[in-house]
Amino acid sequence: MRLTTKGRFAVTAMIDLALRSNSGPVALAAISQRQQISLSYLEQLFGKLRRHELVESTRGPGGGYTLGRAADDITVADIIVAVDEPIDATNCSGKENCLGDDSGRCMTHELWANLNNKMIEYLDSVSLKKLVDEQLAKGVAVDAGPVKRSMSSAPSIKPIKVTAPNSVFALGNAYSK
């Protein structure tokens, strides 16, 4: 089995979301910035996570994502399966005939099938809450309060005061003094 970036990024983003879910919806742009994951890639992953009801989305100002269930009820296996990550160490993807037409299974098929079962069993035993608790124990910094996302009445960029003449006549007057 090879866990691709899809599964790794999904688990990482879900940990980030769970760490901050008490403060309200978490914007994907914030997760993208903190975890250095492409925003468009996160949007694809969270679409799949939402369809599997692992996250819920809130639209509009102050919107973002929250956990769809308690962190105790979400396992790593749930996350990986939700983003279509294959958990299969066999070379034949679990087919009856590894070797082709009526040839049967390869000699190591049962070995790899048992490994699949152990991997799924392990990933199913690790909850999102456990991963969050491990991060908190390591001292990961979490924002203290809810992030204000309201529009400000003041412009974010202050205009530059121009003192240069604004016409040919003003330019002439500036040099004639």
Average pLDDT over residues 113-127: 90
Distance CA 79, CA 124 (A): 10
CA dist 32 → 75, 107, 133, 152 (Å) = 22, 44, 21, 23
Q: Comparing C-alpha atoms, which of 118, 111, 51 is closest to residue 81?
A: 51
Q: Please, what's the b/e burial string for 107-140 (b: 16 or more CB within 10 A of its CB; e: otherwise)?
A: eebeebeebbeebbeebeeebbeebbeeeeeeee
CA distance 15 to 52: 17
**38-91 pLDDT, tens digit each:** 999 999 999 999 999 999 999 988 889 999 999 999 999 999 999 977 676 666
Nearest-angstrom CA–CA distance, 28 and 65: 7
Give the model's confidence band at 36: pLDDT under 50 very low, under 70 low, under 90 confident, else very high: very high
CA atoms within 13 A on the CB side of 141: 3
Q: Which residue has the higher pLDDT, 5 or 42?
A: 42
Q: What is the DSSP letter of 75?
A: B
Q: How high is the pLDDT of residue 147?
A: 47
Whether 2 has a pLDDT exceeding 70, the answer reads: no
The whole-chain average pLDDT of the chain stands at 82
pLDDT of 166: 74
What does the pLDDT read at residue 49?
95
Q: Check residue 127 and give its pLDDT.
A: 96
Lowest mean pLDDT among 11-20, 70-79, 95-104: 95-104
Ordered DSSP codes for 81-123: HHTT-----SSSTT-S-TTSTTT---TTHHHHHHHHHHHHHHH
- Rounded to an integer, the average pLDDT of 21-29 is 90
The per-residue pLDDT for range 124-155, each reduced to its tens digit, is 999 999 999 999 999 888 864 444 454 555 55
Looking at per-residue confidence, does 113 or 8 come out higher? 8
Arithmetic mean of pLDDT, 85-98? 64
